[in-house]
Structure 1
């Protein structure tokens, strides 16, 4: 009986695009929900998620009952760590921060049994061999291991041509976020220079006969990479999906409650001047509309202020969302108006 078939590796060899999602919540329950969603593959992340060997193993056990293939990304490409993940049953590894062909060759050795590699022969203890239940595991495992290396900085990009020549590397994943940071565009993986570098690298990967991969939440970039020949593409992350859904749900729930509002007034013959000053002052931070007699300012936070000026008085309405700090918002408005009225002793009287 041979080692279990790796359908993900076979699909990459056949040039069949595989669509995936990142798992960073480090929980088997979430992994099971994700596995039932229909992705071709799911990546269990140990580089930027709070995973360890046991939590990764638990998630692989859950995924084993579904068609979504488990990819594991270790914290770093250390041989001892790779050995543990392989013995735990991982058949596909994505190794971060690969910067040279020599590093790639060492990774090939780490996932390969002797005499061609250095993977420890301890399969009798391992989930990978079904705890000695697969008699031919040692002889057949190498062919089913899929090694993906992650190129994500300028050093790796400079060495890409040499990395692509390393036999035993099945695919190269371009990490746009770290690459953007190293190129001077931290937090902006969508910069034209970064996208050009990513697509240029994808062209090289495909031309070399390797599988190309990427994680991007930008639909246009997803399409561009697939059109360039990428064969493993992740389109989202469980963490960001859950966080966005929870925030939007909370926002919708709070929207069911009434806003908080307070009215106030200030006796002054310069009401029109102060109204316009406040609107101009906040116009670069918020949406401000005003003329000599009326003005309104609306912030993205939900804080608002409306004002009406007469010959001897400024009428003010301060509004926040249902959970806003109305007391502080009134004080902020008061402080600004008092500062504008430094030539007179202005006092804002709030009704409540």
Structure 2
């Protein structure tokens, strides 16, 4: 057993479709892990996850044969390394705006010589079946991935420089925050013209730099549209959104 080949899945075939998990209940997590998604992403920024639920959720994902990604809280570089030590396959850092932001993120997410990730993968090595932790370290250099979120005008202005950073595997677009930032007046419009142009710009830049483009999709139609634009990692919907919508639909249909 070894780390999942997330990089291979992202660069070959149709890409990776991930569930988005903000709830901590393991039964809910298991339902999404068994639903046919290629991966799951735990949301530590806006979700209800804490360190303990993240640890257990990553273990559940690995045991059920799915790579776990983690969207971190803003600027929480310490948790980036811990999430990987828990056995995550990738970490996503929100609100990266500058080259300096991105380099600091890579430093904690990548082992030398790409970064300065501190050694301590006890749980990750055990979870992924490594008897020799040195083998985990060797595999992790290539197989654990770091994505910088692009969701502000300042990030777009620095996009080419961010994309060029060695050790950064890709970028991840947050369409809602990006639309608010680009609107000039705080308006949420993730499908607006300015946002769509920026989303296309990020995808094209990723291809040009040999990086992976990822994005959050609110709906299945959004997911299909983004895939057509060249996005290789697509996180769609959310566990809470699915449950809330399903409960409402069930109540409405039962009254009809």
TM-score, length-scaled by structure 1 = 0.66
Deviations 1:16-52 (A, max 9, x none): 4111221112222111110101111111110001111
Matching of residues 26-105 of structure 1 within 5 Å: 26-105=24-103
Deviation at 1:149, TM superposition (A): 1.2
- Tell me if the contact between 2:92 and 2:149 (Cα under 8 Å) persists in the aligned partners: yes
Structure 1: state its 5+ residue gaps: 257-352
Give the match for residue 142 of structure 1: 141
Deviation at 1:114, TM superposition (A): 4.2
Q: Distance in 1 between matches of 2:79 and 2:182?
A: 30
Matching of residues 177-256 of structure 1 within 5 Å: 177-184=176-183, 186-253=187-254, 255=255
3-state SS in 2 of match to 1:103: helix
Deviations 1:238-257 (A, max 9, x none): 1111111112222334x26x
Q: Distance in 2 between matches of 1:81 and 1:246?
A: 34
Deviation at 1:15, TM superposition (A): 6.0
Q: Is structure 2 residue 152 aligned with structure 1 residue 153?
A: yes
Matching of residues 257-272 of structure 1 within 5 Å: none
Q: Distance in 2 between matches of 1:14 and 1:219?
A: 21
Deviations 1:301-324 (A, max 9, x none): xxxxxxxxxxxxxxxxxxxxxxxx
Structure 2: state its 5+ residue gaps: none
Deviation at 1:107, TM superposition (A): 1.3
Equivalent pairs counted in the alignment come to 251
More displaced, 8-17 or 227-236?
8-17
- Tell me if the contact between 2:114 and 2:167 (Cα under 8 Å) persists in the aligned partners: no
Deviations 1:178-208 (A, max 9, x none): 0111122633211122112212221121222
Deviation at 1:93, TM superposition (A): 0.7
Q: Which structure's CA Rg is the greater one?
A: 1
More displaced, 11-20 or 243-252?
11-20
Q: Which has the higher contact order (CA 8 A, sep 6+)?
A: 2
Larger helix fraction of residues: 2
Q: CA RMSD of the aligned region, Å?
A: 2.1
1:128 to 111, 124, 129: 124
Deviations 1:314-344 (A, max 9, x none): xxxxxxxxxxxxxxxxxxxxxxxxxxxxxxx
- Tell me if the contact between 1:26 and 1:44 (Cα under 8 Å) persists in the aligned partners: no
Gap change, CA 1:60 and 1:219, over 3 Å in 2: closer
More displaced, 14-23 or 126-135?
126-135
3-state SS in 1 of match to 2:237: strand
Deviation at 1:91, TM superposition (A): 2.0
Q: Distance in 2 between matches of 1:116 and 1:174?
A: 23
Q: Is structure 2 residue 166 aligned with structure 1 residue 167?
A: yes
